[in-house]
């Protein structure tokens, strides 16, 4: 839908007022309009529309993503920012991220060197990225690791993978009842039924995680408590059980798993796709890492700020392939004006960041992958033209976490392996459907260990 709306904006202007059935919708796709929505009208647009995804997948509009702006949402936001995703806590989990990256590197090394040759081997990267990030998230949340060297999947792993994928699909699918409420009474709402069934499955899985942590905490010393995010939430519940209910804890855990897994994994997949289609950029990134990090150790998180070209690759990926191209919808809580136009109360706001990120009036050669545009003192993003994590009060609180994980994983893959497309054709850039913008076809690539890294790889 983001491409269709971008074409409409190109024809009619960057501020569109549309009607989706009976629901008024404001679509903005220019920096000035976005700034007006999230500065002058920030509080007004801090709400979410009451659509059925929020009811069934957001615990009746009570989670961090779907709760209306107010005291409850502010408490959730404060809890996420200060207790769960603070700089100190993210740093505390740095060892988990590095451990999972080493595991991925070792896994690829074993795949590509098992025959004792130096040939390229075909690998499917979508599942590897997903499994790495899910391992990181689940170890942070519940102290559990699902994927590794063992063959096959356990039942619990399979279920979590399914519910994360289905959540993103069913959150983003068009539900006609959201726009024509009368359809609910004529029995055509199959999406709502699927959402309700999915929520019951998710609830059971997450409650099982919580019960496991409760048992673990009761049998552990005080030093071992407060180790996972569930531990932190249970400690808050112990102090204030009436507010920190089981439903609130399940809702927070669900948001962290769903939002944290697919978004980072999909960004890594898009980034590697763009590098495969632009091999000179890949070589340039390897040269930067070799110069800064060398070949005697793996890149780690302390190197990220010293690798501006790698940072440019990630920002350029955010620009060309934003994972939430329309962001999560907002809604006006009262009448306001945007661009001189009167916007009624109860208007859904869609921010078309894909259109803004690919606008030739804002970017030179927007269809060309050019990380250099983000490198140096005079970058094209000096005015904050890319918004991969949203803007305003509802900006994603997981930005710090993502900006540790994505460059670390991508940088280590670039450092350790040579990468090629599986054929002469460019890697397919078709977009999939859902709340996020995944690749339509999972990324398959050829890789082999770099000769300069063989000594280090053999010791991991």
pLDDT in tens, 165-202: 888 788 766 777 777 776 776 665 688 888 899 999 99
Confidence at 160, pLDDT banded by 50, 70, 90: confident
Element (H, E) at 24: strand 23-28
Instruction: Please give the pLDDT value at position 103.
Output: 96
- Are the C-beta atoms of residues 177 and 192 closer than 8 Å to each other? yes
Of the ranges 118-122, 181-185, 324-328, which one carries the lowest mean pLDDT score?
A: 181-185
pLDDT digits (tens, 9 = 90+) for 406-447: 999 999 999 999 999 999 999 999 998 877 889 999 999 999
What sign results for the dihedral spanned by CA atoms 328, 332, 337, 343? positive
114-118, 153-157, 184-188: segment of lowest average pLDDT: 184-188
* pLDDT for position 403: 96
Per-residue model confidence (pLDDT) at position 300: 97
Vertex 410: Cα angle to 115 and 452 (nearest 5) = 50
Query: Over 50: is that where the pLDDT of 151 sits?
Result: no
Q: How far is CA 11 from CA 7, 14, 96, 234, 438, in A?
A: 6, 9, 48, 53, 27
Domains in the chain, number: 1
Helix (H) or strand (E) holding 342: strand 341-343
What span, in angstroms and rounded, lies between the C-alpha atoms of 250 and 207? 7
Report the percentage of the chain scoring pLDDT > 90: 77
Q: What are the two backbone dihedrals, phi and then psi, of residue 266, each rounded to the nearest 5 degrees? A: -65, -35
Would you list the DSSP string of 117-179? S---EEEEHHHHHHHHHHHHHHHHHHS----SSSSS--HHHHHHHHHHHHHHHHHHS--GGGT
Residues 6+ apart with CB under 8 A from 23: 49, 178, 179, 348
Mean pLDDT of 322-328: 94
Given this model, what pLDDT does residue 226 score? 64
Poorest-pLDDT segment among 106-120, 239-253, 391-405 = 106-120
- Please provide the DSSP assignment of 282-296 as one string: HHHHHHHHHHHT-SS
Indicate the SS3 state at residue 49.
coil
Q: What is the pLDDT of residue 149?
A: 54
Q: Above pLDDT 70, what percent of the chain?
A: 94
What is the model's pLDDT at position 225?
Answer: 62
**pLDDT reading at 78 higher than 50:** yes
Q: What is the pLDDT of residue 153?
A: 53
Determine whether the annotation assigns residue 396 to a binding site: yes
User: What pLDDT does residue 379 have?
Assistant: 65
Report the pLDDT averaged over residues 146-167. Answer: 74
* 228 or 381, which is more confident: 228
Rounded CA-CA distance 277/373 in Å is: 18
Mean pLDDT, residues 145-154: 65
pLDDT band, very low/low/confident/very high, at 63 (cuts 50, 70, 90): very high
Q: Flag the least confident range among 193-197, 315-319, 382-386.
A: 382-386
* Better-predicted residue by pLDDT, 7 or 114: 7
H-assigned helices in 278-352: 279-292, 308-320
The torsion defined by the Cα of 453, 458, 459 and 460, in degrees rounded to 10, comes to 80
What CATH number does residue 436 fall under?
Answer: 1.10.630.10
The whole-model pTM stands at 0.93
The 3-state DSSP class for residue 20 equals strand
Q: What is the mean pLDDT of the chain?
A: 91
Q: How confident is the model at residue 13 (pLDDT cuts 50, 70, 90)?
A: very high
Taking the CB of residue 109, how many other CB atoms lie within 10 A of it?
21
Confidence of residue 383 (pLDDT cuts 50, 70, 90): low
Tens-digit pLDDT profile for residues 213-261: 998 888 776 556 668 999 999 999 999 999 999 999 999 999 999 888 9
3-state helix, strand, coil split of the chain in percent (to 5) is 55, 10, 35
Report the distance separating Cα 443 and Cα 97, nearest Å: 22
User: From the CB of residue 243, how many other CB atoms can be counted at a distance below 10 Å?
Assistant: 11
Residue 332, domain extent: 2-457
């Amino acid at each position: 839908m983001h491409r269709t709306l971008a074409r409409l904006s190109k024809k009619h202007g960057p501020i569109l007022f549309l009607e989706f059935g009976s629901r008024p919708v404001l679509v903005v796709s220019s920096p000035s309009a976005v700034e007006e929505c999230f500065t002058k009208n920030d509080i007004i647009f801090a709400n979410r529309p009451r659509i059925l995804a929020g009811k069934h997948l957001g615990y009746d509009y009570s989670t961090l993503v779907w709760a209306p702006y107010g005291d409850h949402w502010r408490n959730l936001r404060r809890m996420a920012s200060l207790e769960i995703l603070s700089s100190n806590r993210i740093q505390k989990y740095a060892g988990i991220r590095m451990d999972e990256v080493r595991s991925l590197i070792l896994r690829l090394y074993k795949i590509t060197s098992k025959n004792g040759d130096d040939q390229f081997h075909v690998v499917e990267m979508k599942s590897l990225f997903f499994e790495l990030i899910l391992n990181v998230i689940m170890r942070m949340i519940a102290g559990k690791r699902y994927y590794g060297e063992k063959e096959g999947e356990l039942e619990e792993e399979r279920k979590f993978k399914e519910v994360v994928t289905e959540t993103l699909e069913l959150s983003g699918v068009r539900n006609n009842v959201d726009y024509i409420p009368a359809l609910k009474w004529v029995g055509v709402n199959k999406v709502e039924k699927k959402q309700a069934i999915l929520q019951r499955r998710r609830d059971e899985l997450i409650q099982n995680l919580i019960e496991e942590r409760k048992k673990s905490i009761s049998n552990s010393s005080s030093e071992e408590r407060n180790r996972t995010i569930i531990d932190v939430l249970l400690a808050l519940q112990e102090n204030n059980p009436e507010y920190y209910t089981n439903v609130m804890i399940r809702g927070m855990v669900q948001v962290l798993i769903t939002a944290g897994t697919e978004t980072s994994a999909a960004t890594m997949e898009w980034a590697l796709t763009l590098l495969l289609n632009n091999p000179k950029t890949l070589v340039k990134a390897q040269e930067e890492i070799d110069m800064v990090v060398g070949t005697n150790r793996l890149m780690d998180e302390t190197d990220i700020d010293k690798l501006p070209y790698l940072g440019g690759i990630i920002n350029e990926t955010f620009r060309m392939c934003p994972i939430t191209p329309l962001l999560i919808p907002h809604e006006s809580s009262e009448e306001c004006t945007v661009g001189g136009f009167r916007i009624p109360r109860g208007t859904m706001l869609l921010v078309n960041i894909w259109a803004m990120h690919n606008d030739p009036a804002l970017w030179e050669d927007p269809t060309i992958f050019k990380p250099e545009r983000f490198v140096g003192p005079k970058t094209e993003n000096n005015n904050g033209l890319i918004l991969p994590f949203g803007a305003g009060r509802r900006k994603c609180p997981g930005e710090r976490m993502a900006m540790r994980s994505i460059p670390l994983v991508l940088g280590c893959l670039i450092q350790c392996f040579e990468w090629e497309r599986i054929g002469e054709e460019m890697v397919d850039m078709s977009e999939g459907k859902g709340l996020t913008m995944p690749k339509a076809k999972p990324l398959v690539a050829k890789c082999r260990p770099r000769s300069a890294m063989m000594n280090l790889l053999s010791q991991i």
